[in-house]
Amino acid sequence: MTISIDGFRTVEDLRREQDRPVGGEELDRNAFLRLFTTQLQNQNPLDPLKNEAFVAQLAQFSTLEATYSMSDSLGDFLATQQSERMLRGANLLGRNVYAPDVMMVQTGGQELDGIVNVQGTYDNVRLDVVDATTGEIINRMDLGPQLPGDLPFTWNGGNFQGEPAAAGSYKFLAEGFNGEESFSLSVLAESRIKAVSWNDSMGATLVEIEDGRSIALNDITHISE
């Protein structure tokens, strides 16, 4: 004779419940504990759950707890890192940094500094001072043979005629030459930091420089007074 008990759930029923999301959401630690307790209360007295099964489920629960704990710790660590990066960036407000492709504003005849990033050995490195508005080359300097490394320079603010260049916006362009071959080189120019912000999508602190561009703090390699 088969005995039917209304509302009785087997171990298989409970396991299927464990595999289903609770309330349309992912199974969390509290739901896991509730299901485990319910399973203990409703196990078949004629076929109780074996000790090995209890140990396996307890191990699963311990793993879940460890995962949550690790996730919380990682979140705290990232929040601390964000605060530290923001503090580092805030300390740079008003400071001058060297960044690529900077459009510099000078008042006329003003000296401006920069750094050519020389990544190879060249017979000559040529530096052009370009009017950022018209694209006209205002001055040109041949810096001679160069080895790999940072090459600092100063533009005296003058034009080809030796006269002070007009007030306006300027950019530096550099090329390295080996015989007839030429190679474009990166030039870092000085600019002041105006603002600091945090970008969630990048997970990085950004600094805004005078020409309006934002640069990742980690990409800044040179800072000046």
% of the chain exceeding 90 in pLDDT: 32
Q: What is the pLDDT of residue 23?
A: 46
Tens digits of residue pLDDT in 87-127: 666 677 778 888 888 888 888 888 988 999 999 999 999 99
Comparing 56-70, 95-109, 126-140, 199-213, the range with the smallest average pLDDT is 56-70
Tens digits of residue pLDDT in 2-43: 444 444 555 566 556 655 554 444 455 566 667 667 766 666
The pLDDT score that the predictor gives to residue 3 is 46
Would you put residue 203 in left (φ > 0), alpha (ψ -120 to 50) or beta? left
Average pLDDT over residues 76-94: 65
> How much is the pLDDT for 5?
46
More confident call, 154 vs 206 = 154
How far is 39 from 156, CA to CA, in rounded Å?
83
Give the confidence band of 215 by pLDDT, cuts at 50, 70, 90: confident
Q: Which domains does the chain have, with CATH numbers?
A: 97-190 (2.60.40.4070)
Is the whole-model pTM more than 0.75?
Answer: no
The confidence score (pLDDT) of residue 25 equals: 46
Length of the chain in terms of residues written: 225
Closest CA to 186 of 140, 224, 217, 149: 149
Mean pLDDT of 176-193: 91
Q: Which residue has the higher pLDDT, 127 or 213?
A: 127
- Cα 93 to the chain's mean position, in Å? 19
Q: Are the C-beta atoms of residues 118 and 183 closer than 8 Å to each other?
A: no
Q: What is the pLDDT confidence band of residue 150, given thresholds at 50, 70 and 90?
A: very high
